[in-house]
């Protein structure tokens, strides 16, 4: 896959995943008590779609790094592996929540009731996501395939995520900011990641348009404008 195709795949998949995540996160705050089944299943379905697009995104990003600088292929591979692990963990957590809601004969709040997801959505996800963001940030800043501020902001998000790893010691009350399943540990980090991914997707798509005007071949990697 050449760099232009990889950039387009990365941008489109990133945009699709980000938009789905942006729609999903607010659904967690619609009800103060146990939400109706439709709310839980709808947000989980949207999240599953986002994760599916995310698989395509991490694949495209690996190919983008490889095409831009073959010597940095290991960085793209690390981001790909960490992204797949993060996606798999979150898919398992979503499945556990959906199963509990479907089986229950009354409305439940799966963020509290399904105890198996506390650490999966929280500390484990935060740690794996930090590895992914660090690899993405390093790949971007070293290869200049995207604006530097996207790579630098990935490092910032990774640091914020790592700060939530010890949250597993602080209970299981979703209304608390810093808890195993608290809104800071899960929802806030999900929102920050979704908007960062949205910015990355937009930048990648705009970069494709700039680099490949109608009828013109893609410019070599070292001709990417630095920002």
User: What pLDDT digit, counting tens, does each position of 162-173 carry?
Assistant: 999 999 999 998
Please give the Cα distance from 146 to 19 (Å, whole number): 20
pTM: 0.87
pLDDT over 60 (residue 224): no
Grade residue 210 by pLDDT with cuts at 50, 70 and 90. Answer: low
Average pLDDT of the residues of the chain: 89
Average pLDDT of span 186-214: 82
Using alpha carbons only, what angle is made at residue 207 by residues 201 and 208, rounded to the nearest 5 degrees? 95
Question: What tens digit of pLDDT does each residue of 9-49 get?
Answer: 999 999 999 999 999 988 988 888 899 999 999 999 999 99
Please give the Cα distance from 182 to 184 (Å, whole number): 5
pLDDT over 80 (residue 222): no
The H-assigned helical ranges of 25-124 are 37-68, 73-103, 110-113, 118-119
Please give the Cα distance from 31 to 73 (Å, whole number): 45
Average pLDDT of span 87-114: 93
pLDDT over 60 (residue 108): yes
Please give the Cα distance from 38 to 54 (Å, whole number): 24
pLDDT at 208: 67
**Residues with Cβ < 8 Å from 216, sequence gap 6 or more?**
none
Residues in the chain, total: 227
Burial class (CB in 10 A: 0-12, 13-18, 19+), 93: buried
């Amino acid at each position: 896959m050449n760099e232009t195709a990889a950039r387009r795949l990365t941008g489109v998949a990133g945009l699709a995943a980000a938009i789905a995540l942006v729609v999903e996160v607010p659904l967690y705050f619609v009800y103060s008590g146990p939400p109706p089944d439709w709310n839980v299943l709808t947000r989980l379905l949207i999240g599953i779609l986002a994760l599916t697009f995310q698989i395509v995104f991490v694949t495209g990003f690996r190919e983008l790094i490889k095409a831009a600088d073959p010597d940095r292929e290991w960085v793209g591979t690390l981001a790909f592996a960490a992204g797949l692990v993060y996606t798999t963990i979150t898919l398992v957590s979503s499945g556990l929540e959906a199963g509990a809601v479907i089986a229950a004969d009354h409305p439940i709040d799966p963020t509290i009731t399904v105890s198996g997801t506390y650490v999966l959505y929280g500390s484990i996800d935060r740690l794996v996501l930090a590895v992914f963001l660090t690899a993405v940030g390093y790949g971007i800043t070293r290869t200049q395939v995207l604006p530097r501020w996207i790579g630098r902001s990935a490092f910032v998000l990774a640091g914020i995520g790592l700060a939530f790893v010890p949250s597993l010691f602080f209970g299981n009350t979703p209304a608390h900011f810093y808890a195993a399943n608290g809104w800071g540990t899960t929802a806030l980090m999900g929102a920050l990641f979704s908007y960062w991914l949205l910015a990355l997707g937009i930048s990648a798509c705009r970069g494709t348009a700039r680099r490949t005007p109608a009828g013109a071949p893609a410019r070599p990697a070292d001709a990417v404008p630095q920002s």
